[in-house]
Structure 1
Amino acid sequence: MNLAVDQSAETGAPVVCLPMFSMSRAATAAAFRPALADAGLREIYLDLPGHGDTPANCPPTSQAVLDTVCAWLDHHVDAPVLLAGSSYGAYLAAGIARQRPELVRGLLLVCPGVTIARDSRSLPDDPPLDAPPGWLDAAPAALHGHFDAALGHRTPAVVATVLAALNAGGPGDEAFQQELQSGPGYALPDENADVVFDGPVTVITGRQDGIIGYADQFRAMRHYPRGTYTVIDAAGHYLPYEQPALLRALTQDWLRRTRGTSPY
């Protein structure tokens, strides 16, 4: 249950933020800290096993990673807590709400994975949005194909922001990550379970997300009777870095709902 962690100085209710696959708690803070600013919450950013500065201290399966996060929550925070995550972190957060609902007060799921197998995802087939010439020049050639599929807001400034996030924090354990992602345990065993979580949920997706799409996430809303779903144009899989102002607005609405207050 030993996970590398950063926490804000606030003493309010905890919000635990989980990272994208292969990324660190520093990258997660860059994604979510602006959206959570001035909320008075104790922001907690975790490195998953084999990610950032946390050693690979569990078997290379998503269930083992989820169990490790739950064990950390059991020992370090007073449940229930707010859970936020992006991509794989959101996939795990939704899994925690299914398996350990007593730990979770509300979910903020940004570009969440729904079905983990790549060939099972519903991906958009629209042509990519226009981009200025040379928008990928700063990125390593090995990432050009990935960014072309992943980014909806296609500018040199967004590329630089995402590159900084990818390079932030500890190096992680690449061998562990590869074994996790390629192994039969990458999918949670209850991935397709028809389980309802009745806390406040916000799901935010990118219209041009060629990595996990946006359609599966809408279909999954049947599991969230108190769920808000938003798909954002000119946004892809790195939505927090592509559209930070919209992420903040939607996060603030989610926080009002978790507190039982209304903006109307």
Structure 2
Amino acid sequence: MNLAVDQSAETGPPVVCLPMFSMSRAATAAAFRPALAGTGLREIYLDLPGHGDTPANCPPTSQAVLDTVCAWLDHHVDTPVLLAGGSYGAYLAAGIARQRPNLVRGLLLVCPGVTITRDSRDLPDDPPLDAPPGWLDAAPTELHAHLDAALGHRTPAVVATVLAAMNAGGPGDATFQQQLQTGPDYALPDESAEVVFDGPVSVITGRQDRIIGYADQFRAMRHYPRGTYTMVDAAGHYLPYEQPTLLRSFTQDWLRRTRG
């Protein structure tokens, strides 16, 4: 249950933010802090096991990672809490709401994974939006294919912002991450369970996200009777860094509903 953590100085109710796969709590703060600014919430940013500055202190399975986060919540915050996450972090947040609904007051799921196995995802087949020549020049060559599929807002400035987030924080444990992502237990065992979470939920997706798509996320809204679904044009898998102003607007709406 020992996870590296950063917290804001506010004394309001906690919002716990979980990172994208392979990224750190510093990257999560860069994604969500502008959207949460001025809310008075106590922002808590965690490094998952084998990510950032947290050692690989559990087996390389998503269930073990989820259990570790739940154990941390049990011991460090008054629950239920607001949970926010991007991509894999959002996948885990939704899993926590299924398995431990007593821990969760509301969910902010940004570009969430729904079916974690790559060949099971319903991805858009539209051609990517236009981009200026050389827009990927600042990125390492080995990341070009990933960023080409991931980004909807395709500019050098967005690429620089995403690269800074990727390189922020501790180094993580590459071996653990590889074992987790390629192992037989990358998917949570209850991934397809028909469980309803009745707290306020906001699901925000990118129209050009060719990493996890947006269709599976819409179909998953049947699990959230108090859920709002938003699909943002000119945004992909790194939506918080591509469209920060829109993310703040949608986050403020979600927070208004959590207070209702």
**What TM-score does the superposition give when structure 1 sets the normalisation length?**
0.98
Whether 1:242 and 2:242 are equivalent positions in the alignment is yes
Partner of 2:135: 135
Cα deviation digits, residues 122-176 of structure 1 (max 9, x gap): 0000000000000000000000000000000000000000000000000000000
Cα deviation digits, residues 100-132 of structure 1 (max 9, x gap): 000000000000000000000000000000000
Specify the code of the residue in structure 2 equivalent to 1:17.
C
Counterparts in 2 of 1:109-258, with a 5 A limit?
109-258=109-258
Partner of 2:73: 73
Q: Distance in 1 between matches of 2:215 and 2:155?
A: 25
* CA positional deviation for 1:239: 0.2
3-state SS of the aligned residue for 1:105?
strand
Q: Distance in 1 between matches of 2:148 and 2:170?
A: 26
Task: Mark the runs of 5 or more structure 2 residues left unpaired by the alignment.
Answer: none
Q: Distance in 2 between matches of 1:176 and 1:203?
A: 29
* CA positional deviation for 1:38: 0.2
Partner of 1:40: 40
Q: Distance in 1 between matches of 2:234 and 2:15?
A: 28
Q: Distance in 2 between matches of 1:141 and 1:30?
A: 24
Q: What's the % identity of the aligned pairs?
A: 90
Partner of 1:10: 10
Partner of 1:94: 94
Specify the code of the residue in structure 1 equivalent to 2:214.
Y
Q: Distance in 2 between matches of 1:76 and 1:161?
A: 32
Specify the code of the residue in structure 2 equivalent to 1:223.
H
Q: Please give the root-mean-square deviation of Cα atoms over the aligned residues, in Å.
A: 0.2
Specify the code of the residue in structure 2 equivalent to 1:91.
Y
Q: Distance in 2 between matches of 1:105 and 1:59?
A: 28
Q: Distance in 1 between matches of 2:144 and 2:119?
A: 21
Task: Mark the runs of 5 or more structure 1 residues left unpaired by the alignment.
Answer: none
Cα deviation digits, residues 197-217 of structure 1 (max 9, x gap): 000000000000000000000
Specify the code of the residue in structure 2 equivalent to 1:37.
A
Partner of 2:107: 107
Shift >2 Å, 4+ stretches: none
Q: Distance in 2 between matches of 1:201 and 1:71?
A: 23
* CA positional deviation for 1:87: 0.1
Q: Distance in 2 between matches of 1:106 and 1:41?
A: 13
Q: Distance in 2 between matches of 1:40 and 1:248?
A: 14
**What TM-score does the superposition give when structure 2 sets the normalisation length?**
1.00
Q: Distance in 1 between matches of 2:149 and 2:133?
A: 17
Between Structure 1 and Structure 2, how many residues are aligned? 260
Specify the code of the residue in structure 2 equivalent to 1:45.
Y
Q: Distance in 2 between matches of 1:73 and 1:184?
A: 26
* CA positional deviation for 1:41: 0.2
